[in-house]
Chain A
Amino acid sequence: MKNEIKGAREKREFVLSVISLLLMAALVAMAQFDLLPIVGKYEKQVLNLCAIYTILGLSMNLVNGFTGLFSLGQAGFMAIGAYTTSLLIMAPETKDRVFYLEPIHPFVGALQAPFWVALLLSGLLAAVVAFFIGFPVLRLRGDYLAIATLGFAEIIRIIFLNTQTVTNGSMGIKAIPPTANLFWCFGAAALMVLFMLRLIHSTYGRAFKAIRDDEIAAEAMGINLFRHKMYAFILSAFMAGVGGGLMASVVSAITPNLFRFTLAYDILLIVVLGGMGSITGTVVAAFVITIAKEWLRWLDAGFTAGPLKVPEIPGLRMVVFSVLLMCIILFYRQGFFGSKEFSWKGLAALPKNLGIKIRRLFSRDKKEAA
Chain B
Amino acid sequence: MQPVLRTEHVTMRFGGVMAVGDLNIELFPHEIVAIIGPNGAGKTTAFNLITGVYVPTEGKVFFAPGGEGGKLVDITGKKADAITRMGMARTFQNIRLFKSQTVYENILIGQHLHVKAGLFASVSGIARKEEQEMRRRADELLELLGLSRVRDELCTSLPYGLQRRLEIARALATNPTLLLLDEPAAGMNPQETVELTAFIHDVKEQFNLTVLMIEHHMDLVMDISDRIYVLDFGQTIAAGTPAEIQNNDRVIEAYLGGNTDA
Q: Please say whether chains A and B are actual partners in one complex.
A: yes
Query: What chain A residues lie within 8 Å of B6 (beta carbons)?
Result: none
Query: What chain B residues lie within 8 Å of A356 (beta carbons)?
Result: none
Say yes or no: is B250 at the interface (Cβ < 8 Å to chain A).
no
Say yes or no: is B200 at the interface (Cβ < 8 Å to chain A).
no
User: In the bound complex, do residue A220 and residue B109 qualify as a contact, i.e. CB atoms below 8 Å apart?
Assistant: no
Query: What chain B residues lie within 8 Å of A206 (beta carbons)?
Result: 101, 105, 108-109, 112
Bound CA–CA A89/B10 (angstroms): 62
Bound CA–CA A319/B222 (angstroms): 66
Residue in contact with B51 in the complex, picked from A220, A223, A231, CB distance below 8 Å = A220
List residues 261-280 of chain A with CB under 8 A from any CB of chain B.
Answer: 277
Smallest Cβ-Cβ distance to B95: which chain A residue:
A217
User: In the bound complex, do residue B90 and residue A220 qualify as a contact, i.e. CB atoms below 8 Å apart?
Assistant: yes
With A203-B134, A214-B96 known to touch, is A225 a contact of B101 (CB < 8 Å)?
no
CB proximity of B223 to chain A, nearest CB, Å: 27
Bound CA–CA A339/B100 (angstroms): 9
Which stretch, A2-10, A19-27, A162-170, A194-202, touches the partner chain B?
A194-202
Bound CA–CA A202/B99 (angstroms): 18
User: In the bound complex, do residue B108 and residue A223 qualify as a contact, i.e. CB atoms below 8 Å apart?
Assistant: no
With A222-B174, A225-B81 known to touch, is A207 a contact of B96 (CB < 8 Å)?
no
Query: What chain B residues lie within 8 Å of A217 (beta carbons)?
Result: 92, 96-98
With A214-B96, A216-B96 known to touch, is A222 a contact of B113 (CB < 8 Å)?
yes
With A202-B131, A203-B122, A219-B81 known to touch, is A209 a contact of B100 (CB < 8 Å)?
yes
Bound CA–CA A231/B123 (angstroms): 13
User: In the bound complex, do residue B80 and residue A213 qualify as a contact, i.e. CB atoms below 8 Å apart?
Assistant: no
List residues 52-106 of chain B with CB under 8 A from any CB of chain A.
Answer: 53, 79-82, 84-85, 89-90, 92, 96-101, 105
With A198-B125, A203-B134, A206-B108 known to touch, is A224 a contact of B101 (CB < 8 Å)?
no
Say yes or no: is B110 at the interface (Cβ < 8 Å to chain A).
yes
Q: How would you classify the secondary structure of chain A's contact residues: helix, strand, loop or mixed?
A: helix
Say yes or no: is A221 at the interface (Cβ < 8 Å to chain B).
yes
Bound CA–CA A212/B53 (angstroms): 18
User: In the bound complex, do residue A221 and residue B84 qualify as a contact, i.e. CB atoms below 8 Å apart?
Assistant: yes
- Known: A209-B100, A214-B99; 20 extra A-B contacts, CB below 8 A, are A195-B123, A199-B119, A202-B131, A203-B112, A203-B131, A203-B134, A204-B115, A210-B98, A210-B101, A210-B112, A213-B101, A214-B97, A216-B53, A220-B51, A220-B96, A221-B89, A222-B81, A222-B82, A222-B113, A339-B100
Can you list 24 A-B contacts (CB < 8 A)?
A195-B123, A199-B119, A202-B119, A202-B123, A203-B117, A203-B122, A204-B122, A209-B105, A210-B112, A213-B97, A213-B100, A213-B101, A214-B96, A216-B92, A217-B96, A218-B98, A220-B96, A221-B89, A221-B109, A222-B85, A223-B109, A224-B79, A224-B82, A231-B119
A-B complex: 10 closest residue pairs judged by Cβ atoms: A222-B113, A222-B84, A217-B96, A213-B98, A202-B122, A210-B109, A219-B80, A222-B85, A198-B123, A207-B112
